Amino acid sequence: MLAALAGRAARALGLPAVIGYLLVGVVVSPFTPGYVANREQLSILADVGVVLLLFEVGIEINPLRLAREGRRLLLLAPLQVLATWAFSAAACLALGLQPAGAAMIGLSIAMSSSVVVVNITRSRRRTTDARTDEVLLGWSLIQDLVGVGAALILVVVVGVGGRSGLAAVAGVLAFALLSAVAAFLLPWLLRRLQTEHDLFLLVSVASGLLVAGVGSRYFGIPLALAAFVAGVAITESPVAAEARQRLLPFRDLFAVMFFVALGTVIDPNLLLQALPWLLAFLAMVLLAKVLVVWLMARFTRIGARRLQLAVGLGQVGEFSYVLGALALGAGLISAQVSSALVGAVVISIAASSILVRVAHRSNRRLPAAVQ
């Protein structure tokens, strides 16, 4: 209820609702005075929310459609991910992180929030045009595909979860086989439940959780990444569009759960101690992502509003939070670095959601060559 009221208040002030959700999390966190929500319960809700959210994002991706309609994006988005990853990882190494931790943080910085991008393109106060929406969504979805593939490789190389070498490779291959089987069996089952609306929805969600849970428990794949792959596995099936449509109303609920819980993990005292890292991460987002995307869009004449495109992708989001948590759990980064990354997620999401509207006003004033 608090999140709904805060989201409504934020919109009344002309701000994105996500800022209200984040503020509610900060207010009820154990690190601020006043009412304290049950952090363990919120953590569980956040984990469930991000798993279901990434499963739905996975279903949203249609690789064949992207190949047909976004051929230039199939080159630009991976190049941006690699460039941002390399620059950010090198900067983290220079600042003293060990190579494995630097690689995880660098990949976190390289990926944007699909949820925020979708909210930008579907907002009631939308300021983007149709072409910018198309490029924003396509770029973000390709980022997800490239980033999750890279993350799975990192899990094998770094040995997150205590597995390394042949065991980790075997786990990834076994999970790929499981996903292929699910891609065959699940659409067959869902087709027979299309007239049973409640069962269709339950099986859609339960199957995503089941595949993700098996991948995490038995094959060593991080739960959130496994959920994303489970979604991608059925995206080309005839029933994927209907599953996506029925899950869509729940996307906002999953997102609210995630953003509120994200606010509760912000410890202002630890964040102050981690301020140099926080500023460094925000600088990486600005220089290695926003500037890189703007330059790519300018020199390739992609047709979107370049400033809005760069700002709209200029945040770190749900995948970054997941990768940071994995790195912290594996002992690859310190609690200070993890806190700074969470702070960068919150600040960059809030800034991107607001500045994309400011960029619209700037676009109207600037000559076309600059936009």
For residue range 38-57, list pLDDT tens digits in order: 666 666 666 676 777 777 77
Instruction: Return the amino acid letter for 174.
Output: A
| Domain ranges, residue 161 | 2-365
19: confidence class by pLDDT, cuts 50, 70, 90: confident
Distance between CA 29 and CA 20 in Å, rounded?
14
What was the pLDDT predicted at 99? 92
Judge whether residue 371 has pLDDT over 60.
no
**Does residue 262 fall inside a structural domain?**
yes
What was the pLDDT predicted at 153? 81
236: confidence class by pLDDT, cuts 50, 70, 90: low
361: confidence class by pLDDT, cuts 50, 70, 90: low
pLDDT over 70 percentage in the chain: 80
When comparing pLDDT for 245 and 172, which is higher? 172
User: For all residues of the chain together, what is the average pLDDT?
Assistant: 80
Phi, psi of 288 (to 5 degrees): -95, -10
Tokens of 237: 């099936």
CA dihedral 282, 288, 289, 293 (to 10 degrees): 150
Mean local confidence (pLDDT), 195-207:
76
When comparing pLDDT for 188 and 94, which is higher? 94
pLDDT tens sequence across 298-318: 998 887 888 999 999 999 887
**Does residue 371 fall inside a structural domain?**
no
Radius of gyration in angstroms for the set of CA atoms belonging to the chain, rounded to a whole number: 20
Tokens of 193: 């439940």
Lowest-pLDDT choice from 1-5, 73-77, 110-114: 1-5
Continuous H helices in the chain: 2-12, 17-27, 39-60, 63-69, 73-94, 99-110, 114-122, 130-158, 165-191, 197-219, 223-233, 240-264, 268-273, 275-284, 291-300, 306-312, 318-329, 335-365
Question: CB under 8 Å to 361, separation ≥6 — which residues?
Answer: none
Mean local confidence (pLDDT), 365-371:
50
Judge whether residue 81 has pLDDT over 70.
yes
Judge whether residue 356 has pLDDT over 80.
yes
pLDDT tens sequence across 279-297: 999 999 999 999 999 999 9
What was the pLDDT predicted at 159? 67
Mean local confidence (pLDDT), 83-102:
94
**Does residue 370 fall inside a structural domain?**
no
Total domains in the chain come to 1
Mean local confidence (pLDDT), 312-341:
87
What was the pLDDT predicted at 237? 61
pLDDT tens sequence across 95-136: 999 999 999 999 999 999 887 887 788 766 667 788 888 888
162: confidence class by pLDDT, cuts 50, 70, 90: low
Judge whether residue 196 has pLDDT over 80.
no
When comparing pLDDT for 120 and 351, which is higher? 351
What was the pLDDT predicted at 35? 62
First and final CA of the chain: distance in angstroms? 41
Judge whether residue 369 has pLDDT over 60.
no
The enclosing domain of 320 has a CATH number of 1.20.1530.20
What was the pLDDT predicted at 127? 76
What was the pLDDT predicted at 45? 67
What was the pLDDT predicted at 318? 79
Cα–Cα distance list, 111 to 125, 142, 226 (Å): 25, 10, 17
Query: What is the number of other CB atoms lying within 10 angstroms of the CB of residue 188?
Result: 10
